[in-house]
A and B are shown apart, each in its own frame.
Chain A
């Protein structure tokens, strides 16, 4: 995988669908093209939804997804979204 710069981290933990994606969509417009927005969500449905968003929206690219348990014991789904065009 190519290296990437995380321009911004968006903490959407605890937010219900559709807010992690709605907020990510807003935030990605604010970062430079080529850089990556990291989104933290606790909604498991976000995994498939971010994949679907990346397939639909040509202006973004899903670089990777990972999951881990945070310090509060919550299952966290992290999505790395690159802005690919203006």
Chain B
């Protein structure tokens, strides 16, 4: 393939999905590298060699790169794209290496998105775009029929969703959050202000579960059975408490059926029930809600709010989607859903660590805490931990 000198995060995400990126040189310090790094459907060979190790002996640095990764093509990565560009330009390219830089570094990677049209919807009366914040495994959606659109779970970076809406000349009718998110800052209220469309959330999620304080943001109330019409399609709200008390899923009926599961059912796992601090009380609700989703027809296409492992959950076309019937057979957690009490035990036995920043993220989403851009970036660093841990244990 043609190898450029600079790649944008979206391009790198595509290369990882396609399996064509084979070698990565990460020149950040070890501590940052340990915290998080490039991740995708495929895993390139990765070497962490901090750029400052090159200062004393450039030759030795280049020899180590060659020994571990060969002479390229290699993508060089750092925190903001400066040191990696310097390593590529000053050190490696003059020595004959084929190298490219990740423009903007991990900072840009962390807030970049890839938008893909769901192929199953291409011949339908709805068009569904899945927007993937790949550094965090967060998914959000635009559902359009004719020129009318609904936006589901928008993140705080409104650029990609606004670009898509403008590109396809869509009119946003409503913005829906499946629940009050704990892992990322919602763009719902801001997108409502930008587009004039109302922002919807289930009222049970309008109360911060740890603080037990009401949200200080304006929102309209979702409720079970409520319907939204766009073009020739309808979206029905299913109240599925468990992950949160106001957790919802959205069933879109067009020529096919699409289920936006938010944080309930993922491709390879289910959502955890403990982020509100009441895992034992909420786990049985979660079981019953998942049962309700499983009663939907087998060919319903599930579109989740997250993934934890692109390697395990991403299709080769880059999308995260699967028919419900397939999930019944292949989803590791669902296979244990025979009976309520044993499933509840399974849920509670596989809770990952409780991310301390999640309490604050929910405060931000409820309008109870205001932070600057740097503070928000800090809260949202790394991968989401919204799923049970069991399905990903290797």
Contacts and interface: CB of A to CB of B under 8 A. Distances in A.
Interface of A: 16-19, 21-22, 25, 45, 48-49, 51-53, 56-57, 59
Interface string B43-87: 000000011110110000000000000000000001110110011
Interface of B: 29-32, 50-53, 55-56, 78-80, 82-83, 86-87
Contacts of B30: 52
Contacts of A17: 78-80, 82-83
A22 B55 CA distance: 7
Contact of A16 (B31, B52, B55, B80): B80
Contacts of A59: 56
A43 B87 CA distance: 18
4 closest pairs, A vs B, by CB? Answer: A18-B83, A52-B29, A53-B52, A25-B55
A37 to B, nearest CB: 14
Contacts of A57: 52, 55-56
A59 B50 CA distance: 17
Contacts of A18: 51-52, 78, 82-83, 86-87
A56 B51 CA distance: 11
Contacts of B29: 48-49, 51-52
Given A18-B86, A22-B86, A56 B53 contact: yes
Nearest to A15: B82
A45 B32 CA distance: 10
B26 to A, nearest CB: 13
A52 B55 CA distance: 12
Contacts of A22: 55, 86
A21 B79 contact: no
A49 B31 CA distance: 10
B55 A21 contact: yes
A19 B87 CA distance: 12
A22 B52 CA distance: 8
Contacts of B80: 16-17, 45
A60 B87 CA distance: 22
Contacts of A48: 29, 31-32
Contact of A52 (B50, B56, B87): B50
A53 B56 CA distance: 10
Nearest to B84: A18
A16 B82 CA distance: 7
Given A22-B86, A52-B29, A52-B30, A45 B79 contact: yes
B214 to A, nearest CB: 35
B61 to A, nearest CB: 11
Contact of A21 (B31, B32, B52, B87): B52
Most chain-B CB neighbours within 10 Å: which of A16, A22, A45, A57?
A: A45
Contacts of B56: 25, 56-57, 59
A49 B52 contact: yes
Contacts of A16: 80, 82
A52 B26 CA distance: 14
Nearest to B85: A18
Nearest to A75: B374
Nearest to A44: B374
A48 B78 CA distance: 13
B55 A53 contact: yes
Contacts of B79: 17, 45
Given A18-B83, A18-B86, A22-B86, A52 B52 contact: yes
Contacts of A49: 29, 50-52
A33 B268 CA distance: 59
Contacts of A53: 52, 55
B93 to A, nearest CB: 16
B105 to A, nearest CB: 9
B52 A56 contact: yes
A22 B58 CA distance: 12
A55 to B, nearest CB: 9
Given A17-B78, A18-B82, A52-B52, 16 more contacts: A16-B80, A17-B82, A17-B83, A18-B51, A18-B52, A18-B78, A18-B87, A19-B82, A21-B51, A25-B52, A45-B79, A45-B80, A48-B29, A49-B52, A52-B29, A52-B31
Nearest to A59: B56
Nearest to A16: B82
Contacts of B50: 49, 52, 56
